Structure 1
Amino acid sequence: MSFQQPPLKDKDLSKIANGGHTPPSAHPRLAVWTRSQTLLALLVLAISAYFALEARYFASPNSYALCSKEGPKIYTVDANNSQTQCIVVQGSYIVDQGALRDIRKRWDRFSLNRIISLRPLLDFRFIKPGAIVVPGLSDSHAHILEYGATQQLPLEGTKTIEDTVARVRNFILSNPDIFNDTSKFIMGGGWDHTVWPTTGWPTAAHLDEDPVIRGRPVVLQSKDCHALWVSSKAIEASMPFPEAVDGGIIVRDGFGHPTGVLLDNAQELLKQPEITEGDMLRRFRVAVRDAHAYGITSIHDAGLDPASLAFFKRQAELGPLPIRIYGMTYFDEDKEYWGNRTTPLIADGDGRLTARSVKFFADGALRTSGAFLYEPYTDDPSTKGFMRLDPQILYDVIPKFLRDGWQVNVHAIGDNANGIVLDAFEASLQGVNVTASRPRLEHAQFMTEADMKRLGRLGVIASIQPTHAISDMWYAQDRLGPERVKGLYAFRSFLDNGARITLGSDFPVEAMNPLSGFYAAITRVSPDGKSPHGPDGWHVYFLPLTVLGRFPEQRISRKEALRGMTIDPAYASFTETVLGSLEIGKRADYVVLSQDIMTIPASKILATQVLVTAMDGQAVYGEP
């Protein structure tokens, strides 16, 4: 008789496979429990993933939507000059944009997070009726600490020498610490001899004639920062002066004695007290305060004082700067080449200081007859102006800086100076990636037609200051004559020849307000609507009729002007991927303006107020 084992059941096979133990899943109750655990674990994972997603995209306490109830009033300044109704800010960045209804669908929905927190995922902030939003404004050529210094004793707007002297006297009388100490240096700035009824320069004697001022060291910077007017006491401390100065002038009387005015490089002869860290900090705070009030979030500091950049670096080591600074390192021709021994400072992360450019001074200024011309000045045939450095230096050093990764920025104002600098650029840019190096002409005020074409062909950026045009238009023709003056501040011609421009103010030479530059660029008239050529604008020659109608020469459009204060300065400072426009992925630097400067009559632009200035999504001026 044989014995036949019955077939094994599934649970027996499971038991054998588990070493004689019945697996948990073989028990019905345990199987249910295990499935429940699995489902619970999957649910926990799903909820965790959801909240992680919301934490990443929605649940940040710094997330908000900035919108207009009046439609697309946010000028993004993207490649298409688009307008939108809302931008969504999370932390320091823009993470979304679009119509209000679409933003609400994507963000203001009923979610688990909203149920738990009892609040919307996104804070919606609405700008006031009539207001607009533009990217944070940039000034592509300015002098930060010099601005702060001039605010101590501002001389802008004085009508005569006597008026200026009176302002200095009143400053002394209003400050007991200065009045009681005759050894203290008195510093001021902003005087402009081109608007005074008298011809010629002021003198130390004009200051010394006042009994309150007499015997005190007084140093007064001119409006264009290319001249110093000083007292006899200030001169005495700096004597003896050399007979001549390369790239500068010591104004002298008929006996060869200094009269009290030093031009361009001669300014360096004056011995002045060292500026303390406290002095620089006070000046910096004043400049930043005013910049924020005008909607400025980025400034290209043009390296007038070599000590400025060192100060900014020290401040950056203490923490994030209150404003973005693109610093230009001053080039001193008396020092050895340093471009291969110094690494450009390029901000990353939350860094707000970049210093990757070198600043040359090719010539002086038109206002002080120091701009280097091809032909003599019409109102002073004895001079063509002068170069502040030997042109051969440009040929020797520019290629080295470009090779070592530095951007090269050259101050050039006269037509001859601009021609010389473009010659040097043309020779130096052979085989160089211009898009990577982005060389700049600072000012580019007066150029021949041939050099305007060359500017565009070479890819050199023109860093221009439109408010200079409406300041200089009242004396420019006397200085250059009726034909040559047509090549002065020819902004439209730059663009028509394919050049890229970027707008600045050169403050404290001109007013800091970037809307003044915007207004000047699109109108070429003074704030009260006047020009030497009438209310249509200075050198606004009407070209033949086209399909678009008459287009005024040398004005630029509002879109071009807005780009010149936003994305173009970003490009000129290598930051166009993170700044300059209100696009997804870029830093949330923006300005809320009380009026739509893109559509209102030009005469109303200067009445526009800044309501909010924000950097990295946080208001630094005004109420969000």
Structure 2
Amino acid sequence: MAEKPTAQGSPAPRSQSWTQRRLITWPLLAALAAAGVFFVAADNTLTSNSYAVCSPSRKIYTVDSSRPQVECILVRDSLVADTGDLADIQARWRAHHSSAVWGPLWLSDFLPWKPSLKVSTIHADNAVVPGLADPHAHIFHYGFKTNLDIGGCRSIDEILQRLKAYVLSHPDVLNDPSRWIEGMGWDQTQWSDTRYPHADDFDAEPLLRGRRISLQRVDGHASWVSNRVLQLMGNLPSEVSGGAVIRDEKGKPTGILIDNAMLLIPAPPASKAQVLEYINRTITDALAVGLTSIHDAEATPRMIAGFKEYAENAKPPLRLYVMGHVESDSYWGDQIPRLINHGVGGRLTIRSIKLVADGALGSFGAAMLEPYSDNPSTSGILRFVPEELSKLVKQFWEDGWQVNIHCIGDRANNAVLNIFEDILANSSATTLMDRRPRVEHAQIMMPSDLERIGRLGVIPSVQPTHATSDMLYAEERLGPARIKGAYAYQTLLQSAKGILPLGSDFPVEGINPILGFYAAVSRLTPDGTSPHGPGGWYPSERLTRAQALKGMTLDAAYASFTEDTLGSLAPGKFADYVVLDRDIMTVPQAEILGTKVLATVVDGEVVYGSL
């Protein structure tokens, strides 16, 4: 009879039968050795690199269609080696161990000792899911924003008070008016007066008067600068290609710069030390919320240099899939290094680039086919001339890059799909699989383009919290007809044949992926409300919990060419998983946002929390 493990996974006390077996085994081994049959000695490393994680309530969600929910996963080295019931896993593990170490399986029955599989059993209320990925985020900007976060401020005065506190708490800034004050997070749609702020507003606070202040809007597509910065900029152009300088009725700049006009701000670039600091800060916070993979959606050469140094000097605790970006109308692919599984542990990959077709809805920069319903004076901003964008996309495509393009408005989405359709008309299906083009956001689309994106095989990469953040003003801005093609996640999922990567766009939204999961399945704000009531905003576009989990795991892996090694807890894939304090697949919807991460595991190793 085989030994039974204790609850902690240790061997049970040896019985009399073990002593009897030893009397038989030693002469047998001696006789086989005399006959020239040799054996490898027992080695603790053969058992120490294997363990099982089990849920007595079978709350391990694998996102593996063959075994979607199991009792246990077996981890060997950095991989998932097996899934299923504990008894079956233990039997298969012992068989594998015995045959690998001692030769014929029948001989293991006579061994004087047997290996014991370490088993970690989670609480019945806990759950395990594959490692969560964020397929659209901004690592540098998250770290940058934490330096001076003005998000959540409900008025200009509240922002001024936060800036004052910042200056007073930083003596280097307080004593040197030439130091730049930079932050991120203002959102005029959250104020009682929803008009844009003005450079003069900073002068209302004496401590801020005359200082160099530049604050990015929450979406990163507009900046609000002080009068001192406007003075440094000198005479501003009357027109900016792909951007706008907002002016008052007398033609004087107000301090608001939209999209490409933000490039005129003469703020100093981040130092190498700051880049590394921001990367570290972001990854530390990401691990605490269960992220095991992040797709950085706009890394400049300076940022990429930071990622390379970070990955080459030590093993990154999570996986980084980086999209290169340069602000240029000319081909710049030669400025971005191609790296696959680079650095210590092979966790840095750069094989894609990011282009930006338009701005954002909140700053009236999303390129629309018709004027905004609440601001008929503008139809948004297309940041490229379509012909120039087409030429650039084709150059990146021919050079072997995955091309990912930011598109918010229906005009931008339509123009980009036209470009991809033209390219794909002259490409084979295998080329499409090699390139896997992505539309980042796919936020507002004509019904015909919602169908076309799936027919072309272009990947829509969306962010569910954008819907719940924008829903309080989006319909007023777009009107009752256009809103039906906006934030249409269930429609996109069906069109895209079941592939819909779900990200956050942090720091535009929160870094916690549970926020996106909740938004996707509820279409509600965190307090459980929506313009359409507790059933959610346009509830037909909600995702099921299974669809949402797949979007944050396997679909994200597909969007980064790693579906064969990541995204599900299937044998042979990397052992990236997260232990949650509750079962997000079954708890009442209102309880989802209370979820805490107990452990984040990458390559089978705990990088946050504990098992």
Aligned residue for 2:496, secondary structure, equals coil
Larger Rg computed on CA atoms: 1
Residue 576 (1) aligns with residue 563 (2): yes
Cα shift at 1:123: 1.4
Unpaired runs of at least 5, structure 2: 1-28, 103-107
2:439 counterpart residue number: 441
Please point out which of 557, 571, 593 is paired with 1:606.
593
Instruction: Check the 8 A contact 1:395/1:427 in 2, yes or no.
Output: no
1:98 counterpart residue number: 84
Instruction: Check the 8 A contact 2:301/2:336 in 1, yes or no.
Output: no
Please give the alpha-carbon distance, in whole angstroms, between the structure 2 residues aligned to 1:147 and 1:185: 18
Please point out which of 208, 220, 223 is paired with 1:225.
220
Please give the alpha-carbon distance, in whole angstroms, between the structure 2 residues aligned to 1:337 and 1:460: 23
Which residue type is aligned with residue 340 of structure 2? I
Instruction: Check the 8 A contact 2:460/2:496 in 1, yes or no.
Output: no
Residue 205 (1) aligns with residue 200 (2): yes
Instruction: Check the 8 A contact 2:71/2:85 in 1, yes or no.
Output: yes
Q: Would the alpha carbon gap of residues 41 and 394 (structure 1) be closer, same or farther in structure 2, given more than 3 Å must change?
A: farther
> Where do residues 71-470 of structure 1 align in structure 2 (5 Å cutoff)?
72-80=58-66, 82-107=68-93, 120-303=115-298, 305-338=300-333, 344-347=338-341, 350-430=345-425, 431-432=427-428, 433-470=431-468
Q: Would the alpha carbon gap of residues 332 and 215 (structure 1) be closer, same or farther in structure 2, given more than 3 Å must change?
A: closer
Which residue type is aligned with residue 142 of structure 1? A
Cα shift at 1:253: 1.9
| Moved >4 Å (runs of 4+) | 36-39, 41-44, 108-120
Instruction: Check the 8 A contact 1:505/1:514 in 2, yes or no.
Output: yes
Please point out which of 534, 546, 559 is paired with 1:559.
546
Instruction: Check the 8 A contact 1:60/1:91 in 2, yes or no.
Output: no
More deviation, 281-290/312-321: 312-321
Please point out which of 475, 487, 490 is paired with 2:485.
487
1:62 counterpart residue number: 49
Instruction: Check the 8 A contact 2:243/2:259 in 1, yes or no.
Output: yes
Instruction: Check the 8 A contact 1:133/1:592 in 2, yes or no.
Output: yes
Please give the alpha-carbon distance, in whole angstroms, between the structure 1 residues aligned to 2:255 and 2:390: 35
1:519 counterpart residue number: 518
Instruction: Check the 8 A contact 1:502/1:569 in 2, yes or no.
Output: yes
Cα shift at 1:260: 1.1
> Where do residues 521-560 of structure 1 align in structure 2 (5 Å cutoff)?
521-540=520-539, 553-560=540-547
Which residue type is aligned with residue 612 of structure 1? A
Q: Would the alpha carbon gap of residues 486 and 176 (structure 1) be closer, same or farther in structure 2, given more than 3 Å must change?
A: same
Aligned residue for 2:353, secondary structure, equals strand
Which residue type is aligned with residue 344 of structure 1? R
Please give the alpha-carbon distance, in whole angstroms, between the structure 2 residues aligned to 1:81 and 1:123: 22
Cα shift at 1:200: 1.9
Please give the alpha-carbon distance, in whole angstroms, between the structure 2 residues aligned to 1:119 and 1:173: 66
Cα shift at 1:73: 1.5
Cα shift at 1:595: 0.7
Which residue type is aligned with residue 522 of structure 1? V
Cα shift at 1:221: 1.1
Which residue type is aligned with residue 446 of structure 2? T
1:508 counterpart residue number: 507
Please give the alpha-carbon distance, in whole angstroms, between the structure 1 residues aligned to 2:187 and 2:495: 34
Instruction: Check the 8 A contact 2:203/2:209 in 1, yes or no.
Output: yes
Cα shift at 1:438: 0.6
Aligned residue for 1:346, secondary structure, equals strand
Please give the alpha-carbon distance, in whole angstroms, between the structure 2 residues aligned to 1:257 and 1:617: 59
Q: Would the alpha carbon gap of residues 117 and 254 (structure 1) be closer, same or farther in structure 2, given more than 3 Å must change?
A: farther
More deviation, 266-275/234-243: 234-243
2:470 counterpart residue number: 472
Which residue type is aligned with residue 193 of structure 1? Q
Please give the alpha-carbon distance, in whole angstroms, between the structure 2 residues aligned to 1:316 and 1:215: 41
Cα shift at 1:585: 1.0
Please give the alpha-carbon distance, in whole angstroms, between the structure 2 residues aligned to 1:444 and 1:221: 23
Deviations 1:407-437 (A, max 9, x none): 1101001011100000000001122332221
Q: Would the alpha carbon gap of residues 439 and 366 (structure 1) be closer, same or farther in structure 2, given more than 3 Å must change?
A: same
Cα shift at 1:474: 0.1
Cα shift at 1:262: 0.9
More deviation, 461-470/201-210: 201-210
> Where do residues 32-43 of structure 1 align in structure 2 (5 Å cutoff)?
39-40=32-33
Deviations 1:501-522 (A, max 9, x none): 1000000000111011011011
Instruction: Check the 8 A contact 2:70/2:84 in 1, yes or no.
Output: yes
Instruction: Check the 8 A contact 1:309/1:328 in 2, yes or no.
Output: no
Instruction: Check the 8 A contact 1:328/1:359 in 2, yes or no.
Output: yes
Please give the alpha-carbon distance, in whole angstroms, between the structure 2 residues aligned to 1:88 and 1:304: 36
Which residue type is aligned with residue 120 of structure 2? R
Aligned residue for 2:388, secondary structure, equals helix
Please give the alpha-carbon distance, in whole angstroms, between the structure 2 residues aligned to 1:307 and 1:337: 14
Please give the alpha-carbon distance, in whole angstroms, between the structure 1 residues aligned to 2:349 and 2:508: 23
Instruction: Check the 8 A contact 1:203/1:260 in 2, yes or no.
Output: yes
Aligned residue for 1:492, secondary structure, equals helix
Cα shift at 1:285: 1.4
Paired positions, count: 570
Instruction: Give percent identity, aligned residues only.
Output: 47
Deviations 1:334-386 (A, max 9, x none): 434536x8663221693111111111100111010111111100111111112
Instruction: Check the 8 A contact 2:325/2:354 in 1, yes or no.
Output: yes
Q: Would the alpha carbon gap of residues 88 and 257 (structure 1) be closer, same or farther in structure 2, given more than 3 Å must change?
A: same
Cα shift at 1:177: 2.7
Which residue type is aligned with residue 401 of structure 1? F
Aligned residue for 1:313, secondary structure, equals helix
Please give the alpha-carbon distance, in whole angstroms, between the structure 1 residues aligned to 2:198 and 2:367: 24
Please give the alpha-carbon distance, in whole angstroms, between the structure 2 residues aligned to 1:393 and 1:491: 30
Which residue type is aligned with residue 272 of structure 1? A
Cα shift at 1:286: 1.2
Q: Would the alpha carbon gap of residues 157 and 117 (structure 1) be closer, same or farther in structure 2, given more than 3 Å must change?
A: farther
Please give the alpha-carbon distance, in whole angstroms, between the structure 2 residues aligned to 1:42 and 1:449: 78
Cα shift at 1:257: 2.2
Instruction: Check the 8 A contact 2:130/2:576 in 1, yes or no.
Output: yes
Please give the alpha-carbon distance, in whole angstroms, between the structure 2 residues aligned to 1:338 and 1:175: 40
Please give the alpha-carbon distance, in whole angstroms, between the structure 1 residues aligned to 2:366 and 2:66: 39
Aligned residue for 1:532, secondary structure, equals coil
2:24 counterpart residue number: none
Q: Would the alpha carbon gap of residues 406 and 41 (structure 1) be closer, same or farther in structure 2, given more than 3 Å must change?
A: farther
Deviations 1:121-156 (A, max 9, x none): 321111122011111100010000100111111111
Deviations 1:180-227 (A, max 9, x none): 222211121111111111132111111122011112111111100001
Aligned residue for 2:346, secondary structure, equals coil
Q: Would the alpha carbon gap of residues 332 and 179 (structure 1) be closer, same or farther in structure 2, given more than 3 Å must change?
A: closer
Please give the alpha-carbon distance, in whole angstroms, between the structure 2 residues aligned to 1:434 and 1:597: 35
Cα shift at 1:317: 2.3
Please give the alpha-carbon distance, in whole angstroms, between the structure 1 residues aligned to 2:67 and 2:206: 60
Instruction: Check the 8 A contact 1:364/1:387 in 2, yes or no.
Output: yes
Aligned residue for 1:133, secondary structure, equals strand
Cα shift at 1:332: 3.5
Q: Would the alpha carbon gap of residues 59 and 213 (structure 1) be closer, same or farther in structure 2, given more than 3 Å must change?
A: same
